[in-house]
Amino acid sequence: MEEEGRPKSQEEPKGESKEEPKEEVKEESKKEPKEESKEESKKEPKEETKEKPKEESKGESKEESKKESKGESKEESKKESKEEPKEEPKEESKEGLKEQENNSNKPNQDVENFELSKMEKKSSGLTPYLAFCTFVAVFGNSLLYGYNIGVINTPAEIIMDFYNETYAERSDSAPSKEFITMQWSLTVSLFVAFGMIGSFVSGMMADRFGRKKSMLLITVIMFLAAITGGITKTAKAPECLMISRMLVGLHSGVNIGLASLYLAEIAPKEIRGAVGTCHQLAITIGILLAQILGLEELMGTPDLWPMLFAFVAFPTLVTLVLLPFCPESPRYLAVKKQQIPEAEAALRKLRGVSDVSDEVEEMRLEASKSVEKPFKVKELLVSPVHRIPILVACLMMVFQQWSGINAVFAYSQFIFTQAQLDQKAIPYAIVGTGVTNVFATIIVIPLMEKLGRRPLLLSPTAIMALAMLILSIFLNIQEGYEDEKAPSWMGYVSIIIMLVYIIGFAVGLGPIPFNIVSELFTQGPRAAAMSMSLVFNWVTNFILLLTFPFLQLSMGPYTFILFIVVLIVAVFFIFFFVPETKGKTFEEIQRILAAGKVWKKHTPLPADEVVGENVPMDTTKV
């Protein structure tokens, strides 16, 4: 039988395969030098020594495997092993050894690859460490934002009485009602005004200091706000409460943007929407917490109301302790700082797996496209690539604020009164609206990844418009009963319609605008886009805050007609301009926007196109 890899001079008859190895070795040792010396006399000695061991080692290894398969005796194999070192001492090919080692390690590699593939499947879910980081981000930012929205409403009359008494003591005469109203309006408006300022600087801070460090820095401001708000009554200084609301507004303006960015960048694309919805969930929990603590049985009393403003010190301290244990955003590290190893280490901790090569490769691609200088807001408006996304981001914030949610909550007390509820029970009924808001937001978290963003925006927004139309009709009818009370059933119908409206908001326009702004942009312009959209959020909120009391006074329930028009416009805008972002990378979302016709179903991009190709965002069709 011929052996592959031997020269012709080494061919042996079949009968010799049963002979002892000693004879084979002797024959080989005699034949090989002569044959090779004739054929390779012109070659350098080094080449001979390299080729000979390779040929011999291949021939001998195959011969051994054949003998073992035929059941040769163990003694012959032992003799071969003893003779081989004599022929090739210290000359065995390193490549041959590597091949043998690789072959022997193949089963182990297959096992490791199988285990890694199993781990990769698990990495798309919510790991304990990712849950911890999500909790810390929303507990110290989103929850405090919601709390500070609601905390000022419940004890409003008690605080205005405190203002009246304090200013009366200072001037030895009772201040006018208009003066107290102006001071109270200033206190409320400072929160929104400084929120606008905070939203202006949030993008700059996020890019300069990073998401994590910026959250730490701005959280210190909230601690100062807790102190100044808590000493207001003791110091007999309404100015302390005003300073507190200024600081709270600044914190909220910066941190609601930072929290949204951080959550979008630490979450895997498979659950990015669900993780991002935790931001809105924490806001609703914060509002509910403020409503509960503001009850007369708890802190809503003339003596304890300052504790409502000092309470924020507790979540602030918890955040300052826990936030250092969270990683910096991996995308910020990879794309902005070009720190790929640090980003990879952060991803491993967040995903709970050792292989994060796909995400790292995606970040490398994004880093290769990103500009070195910080992205400015002006560039978002000038660039044809980002013009449509920034329009979508800003208008989604406008629709959120002008959807009429604040008007519905403002009318909630009147609605409960028309239902002939006892006056003492009305505060608890208002708390019930907060509970409804929280539970509806909890329900939407799993739906975010099952149904997608577009269905959860379109249907609930249309339902909100219909509910507000019915509610405005019922409220107008109820106000028509001047001397006598309207039938109580009409009040109960109004309560049901109001709850339907609140659920629609909690499912759609409540959480999704914050999510979708983070998803519409790649790493470079994302912080600037979030900053600009939040400015629109705060400005529209401020305009509504100033105009709604006058609209309510002059138009009554007809005010809702304005919000109905906004909601109808929102439905059409969402259908034609807002893309589906569920389960898509940031690059894929950019391509869908560039392609246009977002209402059509787009084919998913192949993995090599998403990660491996540098395709201009404004020309690629999906």
The pLDDT tens digits for 143-182 are 999 999 989 887 888 999 999 999 998 887 888 888 888 8
Residue 482: predicted pLDDT? 65
| Each residue's pLDDT tens digit, 191-209 | 999 999 999 899 889 989 9
| Each residue's pLDDT tens digit, 556-590 | 888 889 999 999 999 999 999 999 888 888 888 88
**Banded model confidence at residue 253, pLDDT cuts 50, 70, 90:** very high
CA distance 468 to 406: 12
Angle between the N-to-C axes of helices 272-293 and 143-150, in degrees from 0 to 180, rounded to the nearest 10: 30
pLDDT, average across residues 328-346: 91
Of the listed ranges 37-46, 346-355, 517-526, the least confidently predicted one is 37-46
Model pTM?
A: 0.75
Residue 488: predicted pLDDT? 78
Q: Could you tell me the two tokens for 124?
A: 């798309």
CA distance 362 to 392: 25
Of the listed ranges 136-145, 179-188, 222-231, 390-399, the least confidently predicted one is 179-188
Residue 573: predicted pLDDT? 95
Of the listed ranges 364-373, 555-564, 605-614, the least confidently predicted one is 605-614
Top-confidence residue, 182 or 120: 182
Residue 603: predicted pLDDT? 55
Domain ranges of the chain: 127-326, 378-583
Contacts of residue 386, Cβ cutoff 8 Å, sequence gap at least 6: 379, 380, 521, 525, 529
Residue 601: predicted pLDDT? 67
Q: What is the DSSP string of 424-458?
A: TTHHHHHHHHHHHHHHHHHHHHHHHHHT-HHHHHH
CA distance 505 to 402: 11
- CA nearest 597: which of 387, 382, 388, 452? 388
Residue 57: predicted pLDDT? 41
- CA nearest 260: which of 324, 214, 306, 222? 214
Superfamily of domain 127-326 in the CATH hierarchy: MFS general substrate transporter like domains (1.20.1250.20)
pLDDT, average across residues 110-137: 68
3-state helix, strand, coil split of the chain in percent (to 5) is: 80, 0, 20
Q: Is the pLDDT of residue 47 over 60?
A: no
Separation in Å, CA 492 to CA 8, 125, 298, 431, 610 = 102, 42, 28, 17, 53
**Banded model confidence at residue 52, pLDDT cuts 50, 70, 90:** very low
Residue 602: predicted pLDDT? 57
pLDDT, average across residues 283-308: 93
- CA nearest 325: which of 172, 517, 482, 133? 133
Separation in Å, CA 10 to CA 67, 488, 498, 548 = 18, 109, 96, 101
Q: Are the folds of 127-326 and 378-583 the same?
A: yes
Mean pLDDT, all residues of the chain: 79
Q: Is the pLDDT of residue 390 over 80?
A: yes
> In the chain, what percentage of residues exceed pLDDT 70?
75
Q: What is the CA radius of gyration of the chain?
A: 36
Q: Is the pLDDT of residue 609 over 80?
A: no
Q: Could you tell me the two tokens for 599?
A: 């209402």
**Banded model confidence at residue 8, pLDDT cuts 50, 70, 90:** very low
Q: Is the pLDDT of residue 606 over 70?
A: no
> In the chain, what percentage of residues exceed pLDDT 90?
44
Whether 569 and 462 have beta carbons less than 8 Å apart is answered as no
pLDDT, average across residues 461-488: 84
Contacts of residue 419, Cβ cutoff 8 Å, sequence gap at least 6: 488, 491, 492, 494, 495
Is the domain covering 378-583 a CATH 1.20.1250.20 domain? yes
Hunting for tokens 């919510």 — which residue is that?
Answer: 126
CA distance 156 to 433: 19
**Banded model confidence at residue 27, pLDDT cuts 50, 70, 90:** very low
Of the listed ranges 336-340, 440-444, 489-493, the least confidently predicted one is 489-493
Residue 370: predicted pLDDT? 61
Residue 483: predicted pLDDT? 62
**Banded model confidence at residue 534, pLDDT cuts 50, 70, 90:** very high
* 161 DSSP 8-state letter: H
Residue 547: predicted pLDDT? 84
